[in-house]
Amino acid sequence: MINEQISAPQIRLIGEDGQQLGIMSNQEALQIAEEKGLDLVLMAGNSSPAVCRLLNYGKFKYDAIKKEKELKKAQKIVETKEVRLSMTIEEHDIQYRLSSAKKFLMGGDKVKVSLRMKGREQAYVKKAIEIVKDFCSRLSEFGSLDKEPEHLGRNIFATITPNK
């Protein structure tokens, strides 16, 4: 609330530089704000008396929006990227997927390693877990194993979190 929107009869007024100007009536505070060419802004309406501050409301609003944009820009959203392996994967393909996973981890994203078993491959769950563990161990300098390889249905999953 600003200026005439404030309905409190008594106001504790704070100046533009942060100093206390005392407790006064609403009309007196509005008059002081008008003389200085500033706005009277309600900071704490629940307190007794209500706390108001003298400031340039347009600039205050602009600075608040600018600060909010800066905070959003500084946030890093961590995504989860997936690397898929198979039971019959060759060394060259593993190297290619390792380079992709390294790129994801260096970028600050988590990597989900998945291996899907088809048909008769489902009888060799231990071998599939070994393949996933070997892949994860090769990435140990870029990230740590967040979740041990687990077997769910036809799939083996593991999650790698990037190192700080």
Residue position matching structure tokens 């706005």: 39
For residue 75, give both structure tokens: 């946030």
Place of tokens 């009869």: 9
Token output for 70: 């800066």
Class of 3-73 in CATH: alpha beta
Q: Which of 1, 2, 3 is nearest to 31 (CA)?
A: 3
Token pair recorded at residue 50: 């209500």
Domain with residues 80-162, CATH architecture = 2-Layer Sandwich (3.30)
- The pLDDT-based confidence of 77 (bands split at 50, 70, 90) is confident
Task: Tell me the C-alpha distance between 3 and 146, whole Å.
Answer: 55
**84 pLDDT above the threshold of 90:** yes
pLDDT digits (tens, 9 = 90+) for 102-147: 999 988 889 999 999 998 888 899 999 999 999 999 988 898 888 7
Structure token digits, residue 131? 């393949």
Do 105 and 133 meet the contact criterion of CB atoms below 8 Å apart? Answer: no
Give the alpha-carbon dihedral of 61, 20, 27, 40, to 10 degrees: 0
pLDDT of residue 131: 92
Q: Phi and psi of 66, rounded to 5°?
A: -65, -45
Q: Which two tokens stand for residue 46?
A: 């629940």
Q: What is the pTM of this model?
A: 0.55
pLDDT digits (tens, 9 = 90+) for 14-60: 888 878 888 888 888 888 888 888 888 888 777 778 888 888 888 88
pLDDT at 97 over 90: yes
Q: State the pLDDT at residue 26.
A: 81
Domain ranges of the chain: 3-73, 80-162
